[in-house]
A and B are shown apart, each in its own frame.
Chain A
Amino acid sequence: MPATAPPLDDILQPLQERFGALDTTTFRGQTRLVVPAQMSLEVFGFLRDRGFDLLVDVTCVDYLEYRGAKQRYGMVYLLASTGTNQRLTVRVFVDDPEPTVASVVPLWASANWLEREVWDLFGIRFSGHPDLRRLVMPEEFTAHPLRKDYPMQGRGERHNFPILTREDG
């Protein structure tokens, strides 16, 4: 494995030719690519075939009341290539109501639990996910607590338990 990663141009150039002009920015050697939600799965398939064999993380940002934000949710996909050491951040923006993106589980199996976590905490639906259940919150939980409009102290879920006394044993 090379110590320093080669530039991403030979991947991004064919990508732009095939999918049109996608917004890319580079900051301190880290490249960020913005992909429209409707073509995300094709772009991810293309990237994986060009060597991005490792999905490091899938997470989300809620841009509610964020200045300049056009869409509420910004998905974050961190990709890496174990062969060339290249790294790429892919952003996919979705909006209310029913924010939905395509699941990348068919491409990277590691996305399974990562997407379940995002569904659990942000309420983003992943179409094509094999098992979209909550991951960290209890099953009976109904809200998506990392959304910015969810109150910090919750909506009373933490008080909603049976109270055991000495009578109960």
Chain B
Amino acid sequence: MALELPENVVVSRLDELASWCRKNSLWPMPFATACCGIELMATGASKHDLARFGAEVFRFSPRQCDLMIVAGRVTMKMLPVLQRIWLQMHEPKWCISMGACASTGGVFDTYAVVQGIDRFIPVDMYVPGCPPRPEQLIQAIIDLQDKIQREGTISGREFDTAERQLRKRALVESAQLLTLDAARNPVVQRELAAAAHQH
């Protein structure tokens, strides 16, 4: 059926429309604990001007945010706070792990510092650097926008995939967790079976 559309009508999928809206109005939650936080502030300030990418509205209430930027090292005393704030954010929500410390613990390989926040909360984008320059953070936000546009759905189905739920990093270190998880996680069981098959 041929339908004559006026010039000012655009046809799209609802998923793409929702993703387009979401990616261009990311409201960051600045979880800044160290020097990365200074670069994060510089990114939002006039020189680097995060407003060009629609993500300048830093909110200090997690209820109003959909992008958590973890900038700086997270100590074991801070991690419960981080997790609570993450749980308080509305869906759909994303997380950027900014800098070496947030991603891996950085040089702080000590009893008090969590060795990468991705062990305990989901992370969408990692920014290398110590600290990263604002350009790098902006690139991460652009990449995240691409990701949202590419795989975003209006109902958030992209968050349900088994690969995203895989508790990968924590499994490497804790044999106890491995046994606990393997009993009920089919993805882990499949991976374990594949690993056993290789050996």
Q: Residues on A close to B: CB < 8 A?
A: 136-138, 145, 150-159, 161-169
| Docked CA distance A16–B83 (Å) | 57
| A165-B167, A166-B165, A168-B87 known; A158 vs B111 contact (CB < 8 Å) | yes
| CB-based A-B contact count at 8 angstroms | 66
Which B residues lie at the A interface, using CB under 8 A? 76-77, 79-80, 83, 86-87, 91, 109-115, 119-122, 159-160, 164-165, 167, 170, 173-174, 177
**Residue pair B165, A159 in contact (C-beta under 8 Å):** no
B77 and A152 form a contact (CB under 8 A): no
Residues of A within 8 Å of B159, CB to CB, are 166
In the complex, the answer to whether B111 meets A154 with C-beta atoms within 8 Å is yes
A150 to B110, CA, bound (A): 11
Shortest distance from the beta carbon of B14 to any chain A beta carbon, whole Å? 21
- A169 contact set on B, CB distance < 8 A: 87, 91
Cβ contacts under 8 Å, B177 to chain A: 163
Measured between alpha carbons, how far is A87 from B164 in the docked complex, in Å? 60
Minimum CB–CB distance for B92 against chain A, Å: 10
Question: Which residue of chain B has the shortest Cβ distance to A152 in the bound complex?
Answer: B110
CB-nearest residue of chain B relative to A154?
Answer: B111
List B contacts of A163 (CB < 8 A): 119-120, 167, 170, 177
Q: Is the CB of A161 within 8 A of B111?
A: no
B120 in complex: contacting residue of A136, A150, A156, A161, CB < 8 Å: A161
* A138/B87 in contact, CB under 8 A: no
Query: In the complex, what distance in Å separates the CA atom of A164 from the CA atom of B177?
Result: 14
